[in-house]
Amino acid sequence: MQTLEEKRARNRAYNRKRYAANPAKVLASNRKWAVANPENMRANGRRYYAANKEKERDRKHEAYAANPKKYLARAKKWHAANLDRSRAKRRKRQGLPLPTRPMPELCEMNCGRKAVHLDHCHITGVFRGWLCYGCNLGLGALGDTAESLRNGLDYLARVGV
């Protein structure tokens, strides 16, 4: 009975011989299999990367150094096509919570401006809502508490605004 390593060596030899005889046919067959099995391709890629991290990192750094404009253009194109995923990655990198509802068109404080900022509690880290830049900055400047907002309202009432 053959060991697993012996079987693999026999298969490698067979595949080399098959490829040498007809490379176009083998490449077409491999492409067809890859298209039909994307999950296996991703799993194989992850396995290879895990086993060869340093080698792959060096290869990617060299490729980027040789042509940074190409990679920056690719990243810009991906970002434009995957805005939600890109924003989610940025939020995760910044340590922000995941939103519990989709972003609305307008600020949830009803100021009428476009909502683009994720508002969250700085103590608990819980997502609160979607605000425009001004409202988000104002809440943060007032310490994110209802008491500080009431004090601000009292002040505005006293000065006659």
Cα 42 to Cα 145: distance, rounded to the nearest angstrom: 47
Cα 4 to Cα 9: distance, rounded to the nearest angstrom: 9
Q: What confidence tier does 139 reach under pLDDT thresholds 50, 70, 90?
A: confident
Cα 1 to Cα 7: distance, rounded to the nearest angstrom: 10
Q: What confidence tier does 124 reach under pLDDT thresholds 50, 70, 90?
A: confident
Residue 103 in this model has a pLDDT that exceeds 90 = no
For residue 143, the one-letter residue type is G
Contact in structure between 149 and 142 (CB atoms under 8 Å): yes
**Tokens (6 digits) for 78:** 């991906």
CATH 3.40.1800.10 in the chain: give the residue spans: 97-159
Summarize pLDDT for 53-102 with one digit per residue, the tens: 999 999 999 999 999 999 999 999 999 999 989 988 988 898 888 888 88
Cα 40 to Cα 47: distance, rounded to the nearest angstrom: 10
Cα 36 to Cα 70: distance, rounded to the nearest angstrom: 29
Q: What confidence tier does 146 reach under pLDDT thresholds 50, 70, 90?
A: confident
Cα 8 to Cα 16: distance, rounded to the nearest angstrom: 12
Summarize pLDDT for 7-60 with one digit per residue, the tens: 999 999 999 999 999 999 999 999 999 999 999 999 999 999 999 999 999 999
Annotation: CATH topology of 97-159: His-Me finger endonuclease fold (3.40.1800)
Q: What is the pLDDT of residue 49?
A: 96
Overall average pLDDT of the 109-113 stretch: 90
Whole-Å CA distances, 125 to 88, 121, 134, 140: 16, 5, 20, 14
